Structure 1
Amino acid sequence: MPDSETSSKPPDARRALIRNERAKLSATYVNGLAIATFAVGGLAPLIALLSAGTPASAGAGLIYGLAGFCWIISGALHLLARGILRELTP
């Protein structure tokens, strides 16, 4: 049964609605990747390292470096998601 909201719209408006929904879905997915990258790669290793209670070893620098890299990747993915949302049409 067709939705009364979309069936009464002209074809161009319906295409714009579909395009907007696809853009929002893609942006949500990319932003989810950003959150996962931040949590798993950027935050969890730092919490594990800091809660270990042992002095920082030589590997700590690598962990800090990889965590920083994950933070940068997470930010870039978030900006990509925002860019996808700019494709929305009024």
Structure 2
Amino acid sequence: MSLIHNERIKLAANALDRASTACLTVGVLGPLVAALYGVGGTGLADRGILLAIGSLCWMLAAGALHLMARRVLRGLI
């Protein structure tokens, strides 16, 4: 039973860590690349502070999800 329990714990931790990676990609890297290439008619000069605040929020969300994944791994037997 402990092997099944451990695999379920690892699966849940991996899902949380993948969600944190997705937050980082979608919320930080995507808008940064869009701003650098001027996609959507806005550049870094136009929306720099908005990009910085939004990126910070997404990075905090990614960090929280990653820490949750580490906490879930404490449940391994």
Q: How many residues align?
A: 74
CA contact (8 A) 2:36 2:44 kept: no
1:76 aligned partner: 64
Pick the structure with more helix per residue. Answer: 2
2:12 aligned partner: 26
Structure of higher CA gyration radius = 1
Separation of aligned partners in 2, 1:62 and 1:78: 24
TM-score computed with the length of structure 2 as normaliser: 0.84
1:82/1:54 CA distance change after superposition, 3 Å: closer
Separation of aligned partners in 1, 2:62 and 2:44: 28
Which structure has more relative contact order (CA 8 Å, sep 6+)? It is 2
Q: Does 1:49 align with 2:35?
A: yes
Measured against aligned partners, the alpha-carbon deviations of 1:49-87 in whole angstroms (never above 9, x if no partner) come to 123394611x33112111111011101101110111111
Q: CA deviation at 1:24?
A: 0.4
Superposed structure 1 runs of 4+ greater than 6 Å apart: none
Any gaps of 5 or more consecutive residues in structure 2?
none
CA contact (8 A) 1:33 1:77 kept: yes
Separation of aligned partners in 2, 1:76 and 1:56: 30
The sequence identity of aligned pairs, in percent, is 38
